[in-house]
Amino acid sequence: MIAISNDFLDRYNRAGPRYTSYPTVPYWDNAFGEAEYRQALQTLSQRNDDALSVYVHLPFCAQRCHYCGCNATVTTHESVVDAYLDRVEREIDIVMDVVGGTRHAVQLHWGGGTPNFLTNAQMQRMYGILERHFTIDPRAEVAIEIDPRIASREQIQFIRSLGFNRVSLGIQDFDVMVQEAIGRIQPEALTREIYNTCRECGFDSVNVDLVYGLPGQTRVTFERTLHNIIELSPDRIACFSYAHLPNARANQRRVDVTFMPDHYEKFHLFQMAIDGFINAGYDWIGMDHFARHDDEMAVAARECRLHRNFMGYTIRPATDQIAFGMSSIGDMAHCFVQNDAKLGNYQKAIDEGRLPIVRGMRLSDDDMLRRRVITHMMCNLELPYNLTIADFGASVPELLPDELERVQPYIEEGFLDVEPDRLVVTTLGRFFIRNVCMEFDAYLGQQTDRPLFSKTI
């Protein structure tokens, strides 16, 4: 465990992006609309042989957890889901009409919300719609997020039979008091049963999601949770920092902040997770993920081949990512696009024959360069000086000399080691990697009317 003082932590605990994209969403343009999106899709249509990553957002949940930061919609009616799937099907038809033909997919991800809120018939329908438009590569990562509370043995078997080969189980914390504090009661026995069923069904990868910094978490409770997770032995673990943003997320106003660990304690909890998982044979991946030492993701990270997109870390990314459903984000032909996050607006746009895009951005060459630098650092914890993009044909020191000057204090602080051909992020620097990346961000500080970012810790 790294010993750092509270003063040190305060100095670097700054609000900043998690860099799931660069430029980050708050700086995308509301004027980037359907015409621009269609243009990007047409570019894709000219690259027929290129494989795609495909994301589908399935926002429904039975109830809203207090801590939730996702774009989720509560419903109890199957018909609401059917009506949504009608619109997603229509959206896919419109988009694929422009893209043309059946496309090859190397990554397919259903996120939410709670994708397994769908009935088997609804899941079959959704999968069938995708199969009509995409040929799913036999080696594709076909992943789904699962809420164990509403899963059953029969449902998991069905999901596997559809073609999914990866599952992520939402656990967050095993402690009952914490579960009560976040409005998500999930008996441990039930989680274990669903986990074991996933194993029996032969998924290539069974992963779990944890959250640290939740109300009610203490060193004692978290130690128990970590112990139980390690005992389960998932292939990969995502250990997310809880971002408390009650002004942007009304449901989080139900979180009793008096029970929330402060950021010093939160930092300690995260370090407990790192130590626990590393001692149990996992590699620490990127900022907050862990994978078994022999998992292909851990191997890719050691070989600096890891990538990251809106679906998370991946080793088999397509150049272009196409996304469907409310709030979903696509990334294609050097453009980002985002759909409307309000269910009613999303559906209305589709009913009117419009694509439901609300913002986007066409990346400049400078954006592409900085994106490459930031993504590579976030994934592979190094900045090779020869990391170039084709159009520039020059090295990082030639292209970004001011930025390299600005990271000097981080070198002196011990966040970065200097090697002849690159900067390497140290163990201490991993905790503050967002701070380092922020020095390469050309947009931070510019005015935006959208909610900004959570703090580093």
Which parts of this chain interact with ligand SF4 (CB under 6 A)?
Answer: 61, 64-65, 68, 70, 72, 112-114, 147, 170
Shortest reach from residue 278's CB to ligand SF4, in Å:
27
Pick 70 or 177: Cβ nearer ligand SF4: 70
- For residue 244 the two structure tokens come to 């408390």
Pick 94 or 211: Cβ nearer ligand SF4: 211
**CA angle in degrees (0–180, nearest 5) for 31-32-38:** 140
- Is residue 173 within 8 A of residue 225, CB to CB? The reply is yes
Shortest reach from residue 341's CB to ligand SF4, in Å:
13
DSSP state of 26: G
Burial of 97: CB neighbours in 10 Å, binned 0-12, 13-18, 19+: exposed
Q: What is the CB neighbour count within 10 angstroms for residue 217?
A: 26
Burial string for 252-275 (b: 16+ CB within 10 Å, else e) reads beebeeeebbebebbbebbbbbbe
Strand partners, 218: none
Look at the block and give the residue holding tokens 């947009």: 443
DSSP state of 29: B
Pick 64 or 224: Cβ nearer ligand SF4: 64
Shortest reach from residue 71's CB to ligand SF4, in Å:
8
Shortest reach from residue 150's CB to ligand SF4, in Å:
9
C-alpha 276/C-alpha 272 separation (Å) is: 6
C-alpha 41/C-alpha 98 separation (Å) is: 6
**Strand ranges (DSSP E) for 59-184?**
60-61, 73-74, 103-112, 134-146, 166-172
C-alpha 385/C-alpha 396 separation (Å) is: 5
Shortest reach from residue 182's CB to ligand SF4, in Å:
8
What Cα–Cα distance (Å) separates residue 330 from each residue in 40, 78, 309?
10, 27, 10
Shortest reach from residue 221's CB to ligand SF4, in Å:
19
End-to-end alpha-carbon separation of the chain, Å?
16
Shortest reach from residue 68's CB to ligand SF4, in Å:
3
Pick 150 or 394: Cβ nearer ligand SF4: 150
Pick 61 or 318: Cβ nearer ligand SF4: 61
Pick 147 or 331: Cβ nearer ligand SF4: 147
Pick 15 or 185: Cβ nearer ligand SF4: 185
Pick 81 or 373: Cβ nearer ligand SF4: 81
Shortest reach from residue 84's CB to ligand SF4, in Å:
15
